[in-house]
């Protein structure tokens, strides 16, 4: 007589779910790193402003330096973009266009002037550039024993 427990023929759900969660975190983190790199490399160091519709130019480097990514466990996603701009709307205005206040020196005095800025997207094009490679990151990402 052969006896067999049905449970022995099924996979261990907890082990599988842990492997999927681990792989998801790794893949999304890699995707965030690739998108961040694409965004940072699209921003060139130049003295003049970039033409509208193309990525902004970096005059002193803070935008490139402050593009980061992070895995958000609560939302189960990765967030990529500029951080650390206290009270500045510059990164948002560059990406989407809009109005902002610019400080200009005139006759030895600083004056605040409202200016319209045409969009110079850098994050959306970075995502679009990396989008075709993102599904490939999932290939063989879940393995036994990882």
Closest CA to 68 of 101, 35, 19, 102: 35
Reported as a single tens digit per residue, the pLDDT across 90-144 is: 889 999 999 988 888 888 899 998 999 999 999 999 999 999 999 999 998 887 6
Give the HSE-up count for residue 8: Cα atoms under 13 Å, Cβ half-sphere.
3
Tokens read off for 26: 């790794």
Rounded to whole angstroms, the Cα distance separating 133 from 130 reads 6
> Helix, strand, coil: what percent of the chain each, to 5?
40, 20, 35
Could you tell me which residues come within 8 angstroms of residue 146 by beta carbon, excluding any fewer than 6 positions away? 19, 22, 23
Residue 116: HSE in the Cβ half-sphere, 13 Å Cα cutoff = 1
**Cβ–Cβ contacts within 10 Å for residue 36, how many?**
20
What are the pLDDT digits (tens) for 26-59? 999 999 999 999 999 999 999 998 999 999 999 8
More confident position, 108 or 4: 108
């Amino acid at each position: 007589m052969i006896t067999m427990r049905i449970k022995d023929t099924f996979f261990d759900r907890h082990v599988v779910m842990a492997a999927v969660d681990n792989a998801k975190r790794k893949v999304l983190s890699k995707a965030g790193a690739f998108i961040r790199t694409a965004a940072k490399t699209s921003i060139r160091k130049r003295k003049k402003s970039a033409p509208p519709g193309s990525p902004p130019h970096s005059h002193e480097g803070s935008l490139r330096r402050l593009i980061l990514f992070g895995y958000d466990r609560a939302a189960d996603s990765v967030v990529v973009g500029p951080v650390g701009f206290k009270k500045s709307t510059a990164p948002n205005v560059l990406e989407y266009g809009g109005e902002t206040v610019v400080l200009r020196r005139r006759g030895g005095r600083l004056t605040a002037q409202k200016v319209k800025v045409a969009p110079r997207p850098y994050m959306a094009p970075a995502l679009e550039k990396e989008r075709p490679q993102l599904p490939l990151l999932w290939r063989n990402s879940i393995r036994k024993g990882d």
